[in-house]
Amino acid sequence: MPLFLRLPNEIWALILGFTDLQTLTAVSTTCSHLWAQSVHVLVRHLVWSSPRVAEQNLSCFWHQFPSKSRAVRSLTFLSTPPRIDESIVCEELRSTFDEMKIFSNGLRELVLCGLTLPSNFFELLEELGRLQQLVVRQCVVPEPPGRLSPPPRLQKLTVSFLSPIQNKAYSPYFPHLFPDVPFLAIDRDPTAHGPIPVVCAPQKMTMAADFHEISNPAEHYLSALAHFCLHKLERLEVFSPILYFQPFYVDPSFFAPWLAGSLPRLQTLLAPLSLVRALARVTKDLRCVAVTGTLCMDAHIFGLIDDLHQNGHPLRSLAIVLTSWDDRVLDSIADRFCELQALEILYLECEPELRRFHLPYHQPEPSERLLSTFKTAYLPRLPQLEVLHLHPFPDAIHTFTGTLRYPAPKKTVGEVATKTVASRLRLVQTIAGTSSLLTRLRLAHDHRASQTWVRHALDSPWTPIDEGYDEIQWSSARLVDMNLWATHPIDVYRGGIWSTVFID
C-alpha cells in the first residue's frame, strides 16, 4: 500500500473536508480505501431534487449502506408544489418519510421545498433529536399536532408559503411545536389560514415575503405579533419589498398600546415606518433601528426622528432610505442622537418619478457645504460615530422582489468615472478629519465603485475594500432571505393565502 494511503482516518477526513465535490467524486472512484474515506464526506450534504430521486437514493444506496447515515448532516428535499387547480395526493410520500428516519443520528439541517407532506411528517420530526435547523417552504402541510414528544432542540425554524390540505380548516404553520426555538423566520401572520395556539418565544424573529397579497404590511405583521410570546424578543426584522417602489406606499400610522411592557428586551428593530413608530412608543431600549421602505414626506421623516428621541431610546445605529436627499435630515439626527455609532442614509435617484407622483424633491445628493463642513459641523455632534454611509440606494433594486415596476435610473459610465480613487480618498479625509473613531465610510462615488473605505486606527491609512451593497452587515437596504421567497409563482401553485384546495 502506498505511504499516503496509510495516513490516519482523521487526517483523511480533514483533507477531504476541504475538497470540492468534483474532486471528491473522482477520489472516491480511485480505490476501495479512498472510497471508504471519502464516502462520509460525499454524503454529508444530501440534495434530492425530486421525490423520484429520493426514492432511488434510498433504495440504491441507503438500503445497502445504512451505517453511513450517521455522516449525513443536511438534507434538502425539493419538488414542485401542486398547482392551484390540481387535486392534492396526500400520502404519496409516506414511505419516503418513514425511511428518512435512518438519518436521525446525525441530521442537523432539513430543508423541504414544494412537497405535499404526509401525515407522518411530524412523527419524523420527533425522531430527529439532533436537528438544529428546519426550513419548510411552499409545502402543503397536514394538520399539526398540539405538541411533539419530544421536540428537536431547533436553533432556527423557517416556515413560508405553507398551505393546509383543506382550505381554512386549520393553520399549516407550526411554530408552537418548538416553544423554545431562539430564531424564527416566517412569511406571514400564521393565523391567515386558521387559528393556532399561542406559539413560541423567540429571541430573534424575521417576518418577510416576496409577495404582494397584503395591502397593509406593517399592520399585518403587527397583528401577527399577538400570536407570539415576546418577552424574550431581542431582534425583530420585518421586510416588505413593495415599500421600495413607486408610488412609495406607507401604511397609515397606528398605535399599539397593547404591546406596552411586552417587549422588555427588544433592542434591534428593522421594519416599515409605521411599525417602527408604533413600537418606538411602547418600548424604551432600542439600540439599532432600520426602516424598510422609503421615506418621502417630511412628516414621516421628522416624525420618526421625534418618536425615537422623545421616547428616550439609547440609539446606537440608525438606517433610513429617502426618496431624495435632504440636508435637514442629517442636521436633525445629529442634534438628537449624540451617541450614534453607525449612521446610514440612502437616497433614491429618481426625480422624474417623484415629480410624476407629486412627491417632494429636495436635492440629488448631499450638498458640497455638508461634505466640506462635516468634520466641523457634524462630527462634534456625533463624537462616537464609527460607521457612516451616505450614498444612493442600490441600482440593483429589482433584487428585492420578483418584479420591478419602475427601475431606478442608473448613472452613466462617464459620471461614475469623474471621481478617481485619489479624489475619493481626499473627500474621505476631509469628512473624517481627526476623528479617532470613524473607521468605515461610504459615499456616492464609493458606492458606485462597490467599495467602502476602512481603517483600523487613527494613524492607519484609509483603504478602499470591495464590498457590494448585499455584503453590508447592517443596512435598511437588506435582501429578503431566499428561504422566505416562494419557490414557484403563488398565482399558479399553492402557497398563497387565497389558494383554492382540492383533495384526492
Q: What does the pLDDT look like over 408-466, one tens digit per residue?
A: 444 433 344 457 889 999 999 999 887 878 999 999 888 888 889 999 877 789 999 99
Q: Which H/E stretch holds residue 78?
A: strand 74-78
Segment 9-22 mean pLDDT: 57
Segment 343-362 mean pLDDT: 74
Residue type, 367: S
Report the pLDDT value the prediction gives residue 93, as an integer from 0 to 100: 95
Looking at the chain, the number of H-run helices and the number of E-run strands are 15, 20
Report the pLDDT value the prediction gives residue 86, as an integer from 0 to 100: 85
pLDDT confidence tier of residue 297, bands split at 50, 70 and 90? confident
* Residue 386 domain flag: no
Report the pLDDT value the prediction gives residue 116, as an integer from 0 to 100: 95
Report the pLDDT value the prediction gives residue 6, as an integer from 0 to 100: 62
* Residue 272 domain flag: no
pLDDT confidence tier of residue 498, bands split at 50, 70 and 90? very low
Distance CA 22, CA 16 (A): 12
pLDDT confidence tier of residue 502, bands split at 50, 70 and 90? very low
Angle, helix 217-225 to helix 273-280, in steps of 10 degrees: 40
Segment 198-207 mean pLDDT: 89
Segment 204-225 mean pLDDT: 76
What is the count of structural domains for the chain?
A: 1
Distance CA 201, CA 81 (A): 30
- pLDDT per residue as tens digits for the range 130-166: 999 999 999 999 999 989 988 899 999 999 999 998 8
Distance CA 200, CA 155 (A): 12
Report the pLDDT value the prediction gives residue 398, as an integer from 0 to 100: 42
Distance CA 319, CA 388 (A): 10
* Residue 180 domain flag: yes
The answer to whether residue 16 scores a pLDDT higher than 60 is no
* Residue 206 domain flag: no
* Residue 454 domain flag: no
* Residue 49 domain flag: yes
Report the pLDDT value the prediction gives residue 5, as an integer from 0 to 100: 58
* Residue 302 domain flag: no
Q: Where are the beta strands (DSSP E) in 49-168?
A: 74-78, 87-88, 109-113, 133-137, 140-141, 156-160, 163-164
Distance CA 62, CA 315 (A): 54
Q: Per the structure block, which three cell numbers stand in for 253?
A: 400610522
Q: What is the mean pLDDT of the chain?
A: 82
Report the pLDDT value the prediction gives residue 500, as an integer from 0 to 100: 40
In a 3-state reduction of DSSP, which class is residue 112? strand
Distance CA 355, CA 346 (A): 19
Is the model more confident about 184 or about 355?
A: 184
Q: Whole domain around residue 154: which residue ranges?
A: 43-186+480-504
Question: Which residues pair with residue 503 across a beta bridge?
Answer: 88
Q: How many other CB atoms are found less than 10 A from the CB of residue 247?
A: 14
Report the pLDDT value the prediction gives residue 293, as an integer from 0 to 100: 84
53: DSSP letter = H
pLDDT confidence tier of residue 182, bands split at 50, 70 and 90? very high
Record the pTM: 0.85
- Per-range mean pLDDT, top range of 265-269, 400-404, 498-502: 265-269
Cis peptide before 247 (omega within 30 of 0): yes
Segment 386-392 mean pLDDT: 92
pLDDT confidence tier of residue 403, bands split at 50, 70 and 90? very low
* Residue 149 domain flag: yes
